[in-house]
C-alpha cells in the first residue's frame, strides 16, 4: 500500500485535469498537500473537495520569485518538504518557420527553466531532511517529437535529461528525482482535438483508448511513496503502449 500519511507534498498546476486527479489521489493516501496554480476559484474548489489541502496562487513564470514560493509553500504545510510534483506547464504551438522567438522562449522558460528552479529550491529543503522525492511531469512527445511543437517537445525532453543529472547529483543524499511521461490523456485540452484526428491518435495506441487523469495520479502516488525508494533518474511512461522506451 502506498501510504503517504503526514507526508508534505507540493503540487504545481494543481487546478488542471491531471493536477486535480493528482491532488485527489495524494489526499486519499493521507498526504498534506499544498496545491498551487494561477486560478483562485479552481484552487478553492479543490480545497473544498479534498482533505489535508492548503492552496497558494502562484505563476511559475515568475522565476525570480520561485525560491520565495517554495519557502512559503513549505511553511504552509508544516515547515518541511517531502515531495514536490512539478506538473505545471504550457503549450504555444506553431510550425517551426512561423514560431517566434517569444513563443520559443516562453515555453522553454516556463516548462524547463521553472521546473529546474522548483527542483533546485526543493532540493535545498530536502537536504535538511536528508530525504525527498521530486516528480517531474514530462510528455510522450518529448520522446517522439510532434508536429508544431518544437518548443514544447524540447522543453519536455530537457526535463528528462535534467532530472537524470539531478538524480546523479543527489542520490547519495537520499533524494529521488524521477519523471512521469503521460501519453494522450482525457483532459479539457484533448477534448478540443478534432474527432477525426482523435481517432487517428487512438488507432496508434495498443490499448485503443486515451488515458485517464487517474492513470497519471496513480503513478505519482507510487513515485512519492517508499515503494519507489530504489528508483532514481527514471521516466515512467504512462501511455497505453503508444511509446515503448
As a whole number of angstroms, the distance between CA 74 and CA 192 comes to 36
Helix (H, G, I), strand (E, B) or coil at 235: strand
Whether residue 30 contacts residue 6, with contact meaning beta carbons closer than 8 Å, is answered with yes
Q: Exactly one of 152, 170, 230, 243 is catalytic; which is it?
A: 152
Query: Please, which residues have CB within 8 angstroms of residue 156's CB and are 6 or more apart in sequence?
Result: 89, 111, 138, 139, 141, 142, 181
Beta bridge partners of residue 9, listed in sequence order: 33, 83
Beta strand ranges found along the chain (DSSP E) = 8-11, 32-37, 53-57, 83-86, 132-137, 175-182, 235-238
- Is residue 170 part of the annotated active site? The answer reads no
* CA–CA dist 128, 233 (Å, integer): 21
User: Which grid cell sits at 27?
Assistant: 489526499
* C-alpha span between 12 and 110 (Å, rounded): 12
Cα separations in angstroms, 184 against 5, 26, 193, 196 = 31, 22, 11, 15
Which is nearest to 141 in space by CA: 160, 166, 164? 160
Strand 235-238 with 53-57, pairing: unpaired
Q: Cite the active site residues.
A: 152
Amino acid at each position: 500500500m502506498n501510504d503517504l500519511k503526514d507526508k508534505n507534498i507540493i503540487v504545481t498546476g494543481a487546478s488542471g485535469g491531471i493536477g486535480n486527479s493528482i491532488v485527489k489521489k495524494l489526499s486519499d493516501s493521507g498526504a498534506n498537500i499544498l496545491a498551487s496554480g494561477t486560478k483562485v476559484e479552481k484552487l478553492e474548489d479543490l480545497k473544498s473537495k479534498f482533505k489535508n489541502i492548503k492552496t497558494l496562487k502562484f505563476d511559475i513564470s515568475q522565476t525570480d520569485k520561485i525560491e520565495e514560493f517554495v519557502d512559503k509553500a513549505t511553511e504552509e504545510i508544516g515547515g518541511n518538504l517531502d515531495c514536490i510534483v512539478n506538473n505545471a506547464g504550457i503549450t504555444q504551438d506553431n510550425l517551426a518557420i512561423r514560431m517566434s522567438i517569444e513563443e520559443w522562449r516562453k515555453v522553454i522558460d516556463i516548462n524547463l527553466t521553472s521546473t529546474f528552479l522548483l527542483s533546485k529550491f526543493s532540493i535545498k529543503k530536502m537536504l535538511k531532511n536528508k530525504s525527498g522525492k521530486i516528480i517531474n511531469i514530462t510528455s510522450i512527445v518529448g520522446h517522439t517529437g510532434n508536429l508544431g511543437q518544437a518548443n514544447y517537445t524540447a522543453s519536455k525532453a530537457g526535463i528528462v535529461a535534467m532530472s537524470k543529472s539531478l538524480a546523479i547529483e543527489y542520490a547519495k543524499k537520499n533524494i529521488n528525482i524521477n519523471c512521469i511521461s503521460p501519453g494522450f490523456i482525457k483532459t479539457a485540452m484533448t477534448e478540443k482535438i478534432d474527432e477525426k484526428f482523435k481517432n487517428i491518435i487512438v488507432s496508434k495506441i495498443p490499448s485503443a483508448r486515451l488515458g485517464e487523469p487517474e492513470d497519471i495520479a496513480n503513478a505519482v502516488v507510487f513515485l512519492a511513496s517508499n515503494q519507489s525508494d530504489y528508483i532514481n533518474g527514471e521516466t515512467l511512461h504512462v501511455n497505453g503502449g503508444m511509446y515503448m522506451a
